[in-house]
Structures are given as structure tokens and as C-alpha cells.
């Protein structure tokens, strides 16, 4: 049994890609997309027609509608290749606007339903700002499930659990990137690998907190830099993995042990934490890594969204 097959026995494996032609090789349960992945995909000849078709059919309705149609077109194609759910992201420029996020999410779901896709097969991805989390809480009450992304801190995870969102995506690799950059020449790659990786430790703390206190929100580790980060989180609810790293897992027959366990978490002494808006904002502000990476992540997704819009012209 290769590592990918072994991982699937412990964790729901999700493909992190807009390149839906690659999905069959790895048979993931779900798939996730974001503006950067869609931008990368539409620049390939085999996917360019999806953008061209969206512009031709809906260009007169403005960029927002063309973008919505493009995202849903990719989502529908992805759903043909997987049995589970696809995550589709709301425009990152709406990350601090609860009302606009709710409106955009509902529009995306309407378009999916117009294509015959059941609401339960779609997760709306929203940045884990306070405003985004409140939008997700409203959507969840309406039966629209959400994936809270750009999550770097325990405070964000606490607020997402309170909001009863379906799923969170803590970004392992970007946390790792920040700490490695901060350490500079003092970074010891071997000593900070696997279970000692700061991104891995962040996800483990969130997972254990959720399981200890019966929080139903699913934890999906994301943004991996290497296979070691993935194997150190075996047993997590879900892991969303790029095709390159899926290929590495499939090519390895190294043993894989369960690293996260809900029963073990329930036996831990983990205090319950609750955040109102003021406490959330203060806790996030106290976490320099999370503050910087959240802002950086939103900016990067906005840049790629604008690049996509420029291609629509």
C-alpha cells in the first residue's frame, strides 16, 4: 500500500487544484479551488475555453457575473470527477463586508443549483476575518455550507467553531514559511520538521480543541510545503493536497502512522475558549504571524482575481 492509500484510511483526502483533468489519477473525495488556482488553470490551453465561454455568454453583465459563472463552470467540471464536495471562493475584496459576502455566496449557490448541483456538494470559501466568519454563520443557518480559509490562528478557529461553520482550512505551509523567514540563518530544518513544524502544531492544537469540546466543525489542513507536513497530520478530518504532493505520496511506500486521534484529544486537559468580537480582534492582533499572513493572503488573492478580470477583456 502506498502512502496515499494509507492516508485515505485515516483522513479524507482532498485535491487542491483547478486542473480537474488530474483528479482521476488520485481519486480524492473532495476538491478545493481558489483564485490563484483558477488563474493558473485558465492559462492552460485545455481550460481556456471555460473563460472564453463565460465572457462570450455573460460579458455584458459585468466582471462579477463573468467571474461567478467561471468559478461555477470549474466547480461543475470538478464535481464530475469526485464523489464529494467542491470549495468555491468568494471574491477576496469582500473579506471585510459581511453583507456583500452573503450576497455573493448566495449567487454562487443559485448558479450551482441552476446547473443541477445540490447545495450539499458545494462549500463556499470565505476568508477567516471577523466579517467573513459572521457571514458564514448566517449562510450556515440558511443551509449553505462554508469553508473558512486563510486561517492561521487559534483565535480564528475558535470564532469559526462558535459560528458553526462546516469546515476550516488552517494553512500549514504559510505558517511554516513565516517562522522560517523570521528565524533566518538560525532555522534548523531537521529540528523543525514533522511534529515540530509550527504549521503542524497549529493544526494539531485546533483539532484537539475541537474534539475535546465537541465542536463539529471539520478541520482540513491546507497549504502544504512537503510530504512530512502531511504525514504529521494523518488522522486529521481532511487534508487538501496539491497534485505534486499527491504524486509524491502515491510514489512512496514508507509506513504511515496515525498522528491525530479524537479519543486522545478528549482525554486532554484543554480549557474552553470563547471570543466575542473584541476578544477575537485582540487575540488576532497579538499573533503577528496570523495578522501578517491573513493580510498577505487576502492581498494575493485580490491580485490574482484582478488578473483574471483583465483576461476577461
pLDDT tens for each residue of 293-304:
999 999 999 999
Average pLDDT of 236-259? 98
Buried-exposed string 77-112: b where 16+ CB fall within 10 A, e elsewhere:
bbbebbeebbbbbbbbebbebbebbbebbeebbebb
Separation CA 187–CA 10 (nearest Å): 31
- If residue 151 lies in a helix (H) or strand (E), which one and from where to where? strand 146-151
**Nearest Cα to Cα of residue 161 among 119, 213, 123, 99:** 213
Q: How confident is the model at residue 271 (pLDDT cuts 50, 70, 90)?
A: very high
Residue ranges covered by each domain of the chain: 3-312
Average pLDDT of 3-29? 96
Residue 13: burial class (beta carbons within 10 Å; 0-12, 13-18, 19+): buried
Separation CA 109–CA 303 (nearest Å): 24
Average pLDDT of 211-221? 98
Separation CA 39–CA 164 (nearest Å): 31
Separation CA 212–CA 253 (nearest Å): 33
Cell 463556499, residue located: 124
Q: For residue 118, what is its C-alpha cell? A: 445540490
CATH architecture, domain defined by 3-312: Alpha-Beta Barrel (3.20)
pLDDT value at position 56?
96
- Contact (CB, 8 A) for 71 and 112: no
125 tagged catalytic: yes
Sign of CA dihedral 137, 142, 147, 149: negative
- Contact (CB, 8 A) for 42 and 308: yes
- Contact (CB, 8 A) for 78 and 37: no
Give 85-127 pLDDT, tens digit per residue.
999 999 999 999 999 999 999 999 999 999 999 999 999 999 9
pLDDT value at position 269?
98
DSSP letter (8 states) at residue 222:
B
Q: For residue 223, what is its C-alpha cell? A: 497549504
Give helix 277-286 / helix 288-312 axis angle, nearest 10°. Answer: 100
pLDDT value at position 119?
98
Give the number of other CB atoms < 10 A from CB of residue 233.
30
pLDDT value at position 272?
98
User: In the structure, how many helices (H) and strands (E) does the chain have?
Assistant: 14, 8
> What pTM was computed for the model?
0.97
Catalytic residue among 8, 125, 181, 313: 125
Give 31-81 pLDDT, tens digit per residue.
999 999 999 999 999 999 999 999 999 999 999 999 999 999 999 999 999
| Percent residues over pLDDT 90 in the chain | 100
CA distances from 230 to 32, 147, 151, 216 (A): 16, 19, 17, 22
Q: For residue 282, what is its C-alpha cell? A: 485582540
Average pLDDT of 269-279? 98
Give 223-242 pLDDT, tens digit per residue.
999 999 999 999 999 999 99
Average pLDDT of 162-189? 98
Measured in whole angstroms, the distance separating CA 174 from the mean position of its chain's CA atoms is 12
Mean pLDDT in the chain?
97
Q: For residue 103, what is its C-alpha cell? A: 450576497
Residue 228: burial class (beta carbons within 10 Å; 0-12, 13-18, 19+): middle
pLDDT value at position 313?
84
Amino acid at each position: 500500500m502506498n502512502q496515499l492509500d494509507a492516508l485515505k484510511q485515516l483522513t479524507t483526502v482532498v485535491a487542491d487544484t483547478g486542473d480537474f483533468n488530474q483528479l482521476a489519477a488520485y481519486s480524492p473525495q473532495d476538491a478545493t479551488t481558489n483564485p490563484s488556482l483558477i488563474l493558473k488553470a485558465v492559462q492552460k490551453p485545455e481550460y481556456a475555453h471555460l473563460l472564453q465561454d463565460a465572457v462570450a455568454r455573460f460579458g455584458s453583465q459585468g466582471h462579477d457575473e463573468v467571474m461567478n459563472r467561471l468559478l461555477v463552470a470549474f466547480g461543475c467540471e470538478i464535481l464530475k470527477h469526485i464523489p464529494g464536495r467542491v470549495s468555491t471562493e468568494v471574491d477576496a475584496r469582500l473579506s471585510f463586508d459581511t453583507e456583500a459576502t452573503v450576497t455573493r455566496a448566495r449567487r454562487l449557490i443559485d448558479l450551482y443549483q441552476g446547473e443541477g448541483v445540490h447545495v450539499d456538494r458545494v462549500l463556499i470559501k470565505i476568508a477567516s476575518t471577523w466579517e467573513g466568519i459572521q457571514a458564514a454563520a448566517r449562510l450556515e443557518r440558511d443551509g449553505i455550507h462554508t469553508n473558512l480559509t486563510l486561517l492561521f490562528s487559534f483565535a480564528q478557529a475558535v470564532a469559526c467553531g462558535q459560528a458553526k461553520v462546516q469546515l476550516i482550512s488552517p494553512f500549514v505551509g504559510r505558517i511554516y514559511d513565516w517562522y522560517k523567514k523570521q528565524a533566518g540563518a538560525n532555522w534548523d530544518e531537521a529540528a523543525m520538521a514533522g511534529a515540530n513544524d509550527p504549521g503542524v502544531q497549529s493544526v494539531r492544537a485546533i483539532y484537539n480543541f475541537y474534539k475535546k469540546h465537541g465542536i463539529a466543525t471539520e478541520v482540513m489542513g491546507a497549504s502544504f510545503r512537503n510530504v512530512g507536513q502531511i504525514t504529521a497530520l494523518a488522522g486529521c478530518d481532511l487534508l487538501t493536497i496539491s497534485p505534486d504532493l499527491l504524486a509524491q505520496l502515491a510514489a512512496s511506500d514508507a509506513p504511515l502512522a496515525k498522528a491525530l486521534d479524537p479519543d486522545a484529544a478528549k482525554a486532554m486537559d484543554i480549557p474552553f475558549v470563547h471570543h466575542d468580537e473584541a476578544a477575537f480582534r485582540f487575540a488576532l492582533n497579538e499573533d503577528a504571524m496570523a495578522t501578517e499572513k491573513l493580510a498577505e493572503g487576502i492581498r494575493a488573492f485580490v491580485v490574482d482575481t484582478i488578473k483574471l478580470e483583465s483576461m476577461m477583456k
